[in-house]
Amino acid sequence: MAAMDFALTEQQQWIRKEVAALARSFPPEYWLERDRTATYPWEFVRAFGQAGWLGMIVPEAYGGSGLGVTEAALMLHEICAAGAGTTGCSPVHFYCFPPMPVIKHGAEALKQKYLPRVASGEIVMSFGVTEPNAGTDTSRIQTFARRDGDRFVVNGRKVWNTNARQATHILLLARTEPRDAHPGKPFRGMTLFFTEFDRARITVQEIEKLGRAAVDSNEIFIDGLEVPAENVVGEVGQGFYHLLDSLNPERVFTGIEAVGIGRAALARAVDYARERVVFDRPIGKNQAIAHPLAAAWARLEAAEMMCLKAAWLFDQGQPCGAESNAAKFLAAEAGFEACDAALQTHGGYGYAKEFHVERLWREVRLYKIAPVSQQMVLNHLSEHVLGLPRSY
């Protein structure tokens, strides 16, 4: 019987060490300034590109490192644990998640054309699924791609399109058949495209938001976007199913990002609790300060373990839907609780930008909403793990 082994391989330990060193070479003030001025962290992204980290999941045959979800998760964790928050991890995340359906389902020519440019960092991705009139019910998206000879012509609207102001390319889900074309199968008839972000045909309108001001999220309006037929990822009409394969890794990535952010906030809080003296004692001597931090540590450890278990299952080619969803759920809670305890530990200074935890607290809140809400995770677990009747 195979032994249960929680140890990281030598290569994984090396990745952690190297990524941590690079990420920590960007001080907290760098992130504060990006947030304050809402400027994209290009220096950070380029540094990761130059060091070869952006091609982590791209197979070696296409110029990447050919590593797994586990290694990519370790990288994203270290970026977040270094204090970069979503401002630092989201741009790198976009090199790990949207290319995945292309790697798994893309035609050879599509892979050869685009993956080396993803691996080198030349391509900047955005990802367009969510729509204002569909919300979480993806089967109701209205963006439509009409076949016209050897190309598709796309019209529609997407919301919360991250990176659209920077993107050179977009992974786009559109209907190619109406929802009722296959009775009882509302998720058929959608097609996935990997295509150039043609600014003559796509208008971008930024959404002002709670956190991560430096990395834009947008509403985009698509008006007659022409996409060559060879830019279809996988099969026409099967796009939603192709995407599904990549959603579990995305849950793992976002989960472990939340853990990393929680750890960055916790480290700051512990330092502060040791140093801040009130009533002639360091505040960390009070259990009302120490216990929430200790509990946060325990919850982060447990959430990380679930993330790594889900990543390991995925890399072994085993089903990991339940574990990936549970990992995202637990990590979003643990990350937020850690940031909240860290903010409280700082008292009034927790509210001040120069102590950095308020930014982490704002940013980590995202993970309870996106890429899938906590409620929808619980819906999934209720139905698919517990076997309870679908509630909606």
Ligand X SMILES: Cc1cc2nc3c(=O)[nH]c(=O)nc-3n(C[C@H](O)[C@H](O)[C@H](O)COP(=O)(O)OP(=O)(O)OC[C@H]3O[C@@H](n4cnc5c(N)ncnc54)[C@H](O)[C@@H]3O)c2cc1C
Task: List residues binding ligand X (CB under 6 A).
Answer: 127-130, 135-136, 160-162, 209, 217, 366, 369-373, 375-376, 379, 392
How distant is the alpha carbon of residue 73 from its chain centre?
A: 10
Exposure class string for 45-81: b at 16+ Cβ within 10 A, else e: beebbeeebbbbbbeeebbbbbbbbbbbbbbbbbbbb
Exposure class string for 258-271: b at 16+ Cβ within 10 A, else e: bbbbbbbbbebbbe
- Helix axis angle for 357-364 and 321-345, nearest 10°, is 150
**Token pair for 224:** 């007659």
Exposure class string for 309-333: b at 16+ Cβ within 10 A, else e: bbbbbbbeeeebbbbbbbbbbbbbb
Instruction: Return the number of the residue (8 or 376) whose C-beta is nearest ligand X.
Output: 376
> Least separation, in Å, of the C-beta of 101 and ligand X?
13
> Least separation, in Å, of the C-beta of 386 and ligand X?
15
Instruction: Return the number of the residue (152 or 160) whose C-beta is nearest ligand X.
Output: 160
Strands 169-175 and 125-128: what pairing? parallel
Instruction: Return the number of the residue (273 or 364) whose C-beta is nearest ligand X.
Output: 364
Instruction: Return the number of the residue (107 or 370) whose C-beta is nearest ligand X.
Output: 370
Instruction: Return the number of the residue (39 or 373) whose C-beta is nearest ligand X.
Output: 373
Residue facing ligand X at closest CB distance: 135
> Least separation, in Å, of the C-beta of 111 and ligand X?
22
Cα–Cα distance measured from residue 232 to residue 383, given in angstroms and rounded to the nearest whole number = 32
Query: Of 73, 23, 36, 75, whose CA–CA distance to 359 is shortest?
Result: 36
Instruction: Return the number of the residue (9 or 168) whose C-beta is nearest ligand X.
Output: 168
Instruction: Return the number of the residue (162 or 191) whose C-beta is nearest ligand X.
Output: 162
Close Cβ partners of 86 (under 8 Å, ≥ 6 residues apart)? 80, 211, 212, 215, 257, 261, 363, 364, 366
> Least separation, in Å, of the C-beta of 39 and ligand X?
17
Instruction: Return the number of the residue (225 or 313) whose C-beta is nearest ligand X.
Output: 225
Spell out where the chain has E strands: 125-128, 144-148, 151-162, 169-175, 190-196, 202-206, 217-228, 232-233, 277-278, 281-282
> Least separation, in Å, of the C-beta of 94 and ligand X?
8
> Least separation, in Å, of the C-beta of 91 and ligand X?
12
Query: Of 48, 175, 179, whose CA–CA distance to 119 is shortest?
Result: 48
> Least separation, in Å, of the C-beta of 189 and ligand X?
18
> Least separation, in Å, of the C-beta of 218 and ligand X?
9
> Least separation, in Å, of the C-beta of 6 and ligand X?
31
Beta-bridge partners for 92? none
> Least separation, in Å, of the C-beta of 382 and ligand X?
10
Instruction: Return the number of the residue (132 or 178) whose C-beta is nearest ligand X.
Output: 132
Instruction: Return the number of the residue (12 or 126) whose C-beta is nearest ligand X.
Output: 126
Cα–Cα distance measured from residue 119 to residue 57, given in angstroms and rounded to the nearest whole number = 8
Q: Is 58 left (phi over 0), alpha (psi -120 to 50) or beta?
A: beta
